Amino acid sequence: MIIKNKENWFKMLFVWHGSVLPQLLPRLILLFILSLVIVYFHGNIFSFKIPLNPAPLTLFGFVLALFLGFRNNVSYERFWEGRKLWGALLNHTRSLARQTLTLTDSKIDDSSKIEFISLLRSFAYALKHQLRNTDSENDLKIRLTERQFKIVSQAQYKPIMLTKLMAEWIQKAKHENIIDSIQQARFDENLDALTDIVGGCERIASTPIPYTYRVLLHRTVYIYCFLLPFGLVDSLQWLTPFLVAFIAYTFVAFEAIADEIEEPFGTEPNDLALNSMSQMIEATISELAGIPIKQTQEAKRDIID
């Protein structure tokens, strides 16, 4: 995810990294060349004049803009829901860490508490790798005990297996009278919340916007852009290619942005910064437990200042 300081309005006109312009440039160049050809032949195809004027294109462009706005709202809603889920993950892991360190104080040795904290620290990384379909071995191996890692590494849904290990730790504490039934219930509430967060993230990741809707909007945008030069050639002449490229950039860019943020857990420039959020969750839990944590460069690949 790219996070930049607020820039001068003029510099914003030339921002390259983080915009969708680099991936759209070949398409815009193709439309520009096509518009040049259409202007050269005065809107004729094999001596047949295409009878288009700006009026129907203006009306159709307005309707298309409404559909694109709806498409972007749907994609941003998925993006923002993903961000809220990871914000809730931060809150509930902090609560579990605090409960572990305070409700069991003086009743259990520090090594047992650290065992539970290690499971919490690993949870965010396990969820991140599951959502991105990447290998979690390196991140989990350095944070879990050998026994924990052996169990978790064999699971397909590693975050859920971590909640099981945390529940077993809580049940053991209850059996040894370290916590009472009310405290166990409070622990379980936060574990249930972690499970809900995993389910919410999985729902976003496994349920994309219906494909037929995307295809319809995609075709409509490009058909409109290819017809646009025929409607403007008589009134604008050689200015047509420039205006067509600008209008096409607006419509095609909206579609590209919607496609990019539709899957918020990926690694594209405008996706959620899961690396830095996982590291922040680990850092705040470790600070509560008094565990030193070595800072890594991983999060810096997520956020560009």
Please state the domain count of the chain: 2
139 within domain boundaries: yes
Query: Is residue 296 pLDDT above 60, yes or no?
Result: no
Quick check: helix, strand or coil at residue 304? strand
113 within domain boundaries: yes
- Same domain? For 133 and 171 the reply is yes
Q: How far apart are CA 63 and CA 220, in angstroms?
A: 11
129 within domain boundaries: yes
26 within domain boundaries: yes
- Same domain? For 155 and 283 the reply is yes
- Same domain? For 140 and 243 the reply is no
56 within domain boundaries: no
- Same domain? For 187 and 231 the reply is no
Nearest residue to 218 (alpha-carbon basis) of 71, 117, 56, 23: 71
Nearest residue to 247 (alpha-carbon basis) of 37, 14, 69, 64: 64
Q: How far apart are CA 92 and CA 279, in angstroms?
A: 15
- Same domain? For 213 and 201 the reply is no
Query: Is residue 250 pLDDT above 70, yes or no?
Result: yes
The model carries a pTM of: 0.85
Contacts of 97 (CB under 8 A, 6+ apart): 117, 120, 285, 288, 289
Token pair in block for residue 266: 């990926």
- Same domain? For 240 and 279 the reply is no
Residue 190, domain extent: 80-205+269-292
* pLDDT per residue as tens digits for the range 154-193: 999 999 999 999 999 999 999 988 888 999 999 999 999 9
Q: How far apart are CA 91 and CA 75, in angstroms?
A: 25
- Same domain? For 248 and 103 the reply is no
Residue type, 185: A
- Same domain? For 138 and 150 the reply is yes
- Same domain? For 275 and 157 the reply is yes
